[in-house]
Structure 1
Amino acid sequence: MARLCSDVCSLLNDALIKKLFQHKIFTVVDVLEEDSEKLVQILKLSYKEVLQVRHTIIANYAAFPRKCNDIYEDLVSNSALIPTGIASVDGLLGGGLLTDQVWELCGPAGEGKTQLCLAAACHAALALRQPVHYVDTQLGFSGRRLQAALEARAAPHQEMAGAMERVQVTRVSDSYQLLGALHRLKTALQDGREGGGAGRLVVVDSLAALFFSYLGEDHNDGLSQLNHVANVLRFLASECHVAVVVVNVAVRGGDDLRQQQDEAAAGTLRPALGRYWAHVPSTRLLLQDGTLSVAKSTHLPRGASCPVHVTDKGVE
């Protein structure tokens, strides 16, 4: 809910907003819930002016209904498949990463999750010539690894240089920096969409690195930050029409979390970050022992898999 300020309505100046704060009216919702007669007494405005304030707030902040057909047409016209450039993986995914969704790539450490993300980023930047937004939370992003992956595709030097410029890396070291980066990215994507220059692939590598320290015995510490991150990622996917890929660590049992049904395909492994995060991704992919499998999905067959061969120069 929006906090009251002078931009909410031309009739509300700083002095009147201060009076509302003194009566514990802080947001636009508080104004709408308050009795109009009481607002007249507090603001010393006419009844007609108070109604005008309320109508302005409703017009600017209320949610208006949309026809299902309009939503469907908007989704169809803006959805796309972002190929990873790896034939076996694209075959498993039905052509590539579907936009308007949050994807999770999980697996034990050292299985090649980052290398798989780099391969997808390389293909989007080189073959599709689209910007790629790569959020590095472990401060381990290597330009040399990206260059090696591009060189393996035998691209001309000039095209390779252009592809490296299209991969835009943001480094963050805590959850607050991550939220700030995601909000800036949201603004950039919305502005780019209007100008026709926005990318369609966002990678967060990795989310677990920032939230492991918050997971206490009750698994509630840091839940508000995780909830905020999840909401922003969903917004990026659905409103900016991008494919959001989040890297997560797969861990083995040993805590008090109830085993989720969608984790059965992962055997004894389950994604980190607890029960709340388990429902955030639209599709969860498990990378383990050279096999990429679908552990959960809204549109892919669960349990489907394909072999992947991870090398220093990419993924085959």
Structure 2
Amino acid sequence: MARLQSNMHDLLTEEVLKALFSKNIYTVLKFIQAEIKQIGSITTLQYKDIVTIRKHLLNKHSAVVTNALDHWNELVSKTALIPTGIKSLDRILQGGLTTGNIYEICGLPSSGKTQLCLTLMKNVSLLNLNVFWIDTKGDFTGRKMRSMLDANGTSEDVMSKMLVKQLHTQHDLVSALYQIKEDVYTRKLRLRLLIIDSLPPLFYQSQDFERNYGVMNDFVNVLHFLARELQIAIVVTNIITTWYEGDFNVDSAITEKLGLGKYWYNVANTRFVIKKDRLTILKSNRLLKGVSCPIRICDEGIV
């Protein structure tokens, strides 16, 4: 899952990388899987140069073989349970957010998705854990977070645990995730929670299905890596849209659809829907489907 970089090989110049990225070849895996002729047509590299680079990357990035028991023991030792600070939510989560999992919060526009994420960021930061927020809508403001902390009677010093990045394109999103990976490894960033609010604004920008699918595939791959290999709990928000078929006065003609299509549907380990004053589990690979909890919005966030 390593991202291609110029320091990996002398022949991987910035010009070559730019050409590869333009065709959604961001990672070592994608480079190795691509046909040599395809790489040659995209870049100025000769056949023998491509073979040389591939051999070098394979030697450097080949997986180390371990037995299943060692893998399981390592996973258990790294996994952590992070309380959300919302008592009713922690009950249906059986204690809190589990690292290594991807959680999705979906709902109609203005249903409280961002407010819930802000509350998660505040409460997890109060546990002295770093939280990274990727903002695609421009909804995150320090003033709002400060007011929530004030209502909670908490010092603003906790905001030093909150890392925020605003971005506006699919490419920026993928690059940001790779940068987080590098920061964890090189800067020893201790990160337990990553929040992305929200995905649809980026993936609805383009009508190019093939490009969207390619970027989505890269995004999901690195998201799984961050969750599983670095043991980070990931929370993303998604939108639900309402569709009317036929007569607008007939309730049975109203259907609700989850954003981002079928490919995304099975990515999250646990999906919640937020409606009015309740949060309900729509799907999960370990929690009870259909279980819900009451929530209430106040000055200090959601309780």
TM-score if structure 2 supplies the norm length? 0.77
Task: Give aligned pairs, total.
Answer: 267
- Structure 2: how far apart are the matches of 1:223 and 1:31? 19
- Structure 1: how far apart are the matches of 2:100 and 2:136? 23
Which one has a bigger Cα radius of gyration? 1
Measured after TM superposition, the shift of residue 181 of structure 1 is: 1.4
Computed over aligned residues only, the root mean square deviation of the Cα atoms, in angstroms, reads: 3.3
1:249 to 239, 243, 247: 239
- Structure 2: how far apart are the matches of 1:76 and 1:61? 25
Which one-letter code corresponds to 2:93 in the other structure? L
Which one-letter code corresponds to 1:236 in the other structure? L
- Structure 2: how far apart are the matches of 1:269 and 1:310? 24
Question: Is 1:94 paired with 2:81?
Answer: no
CA contact (8 A) 1:206 1:246 kept: yes
Percent identical? 32
Which one-letter code corresponds to 1:151 in the other structure? D
- Structure 1: how far apart are the matches of 2:144 and 2:83? 20
Measured after TM superposition, the shift of residue 30 of structure 1 is: 8.2
**Cα deviations by residue, 1:145-188 (Å, 9 ceiling, x for unpaired):** 21122122222xxxx22211211110001111112211111111
Question: Is 1:315 paired with 2:302?
Answer: yes
Partner of 2:85: 85
Partner of 1:233: 223
Partner of 1:297: 284
Cα pair distance change 1:82/1:30, threshold 3 Å: closer
- Structure 2: how far apart are the matches of 1:90 and 1:272? 26
- Structure 2: how far apart are the matches of 1:54 and 1:116? 45
- Structure 1: how far apart are the matches of 2:292 and 2:182? 36
Which one-letter code corresponds to 1:233 in the other structure? L
Question: Is 1:288 paired with 2:280?
Answer: no
Partner of 1:258: none
TM-score if structure 1 supplies the norm length? 0.74
Unaligned 5+ runs, structure 2: 14-29, 37-46, 246-253
Unaligned 5+ runs, structure 1: 15-25, 33-41, 44-49, 256-266
2:200 to 208, 212, 216: 208
Measured after TM superposition, the shift of residue 213 of structure 1 is: 2.7
Which aligned runs of 4 or more in structure 1 are off by greater than 4 angstroms?
1-9, 26-32, 52-58
- Structure 1: how far apart are the matches of 2:182 and 2:67? 26
**Cα deviations by residue, 1:117-159 (Å, 9 ceiling, x for unpaired):** 1111111112x1111100000012121221122122222xxxx
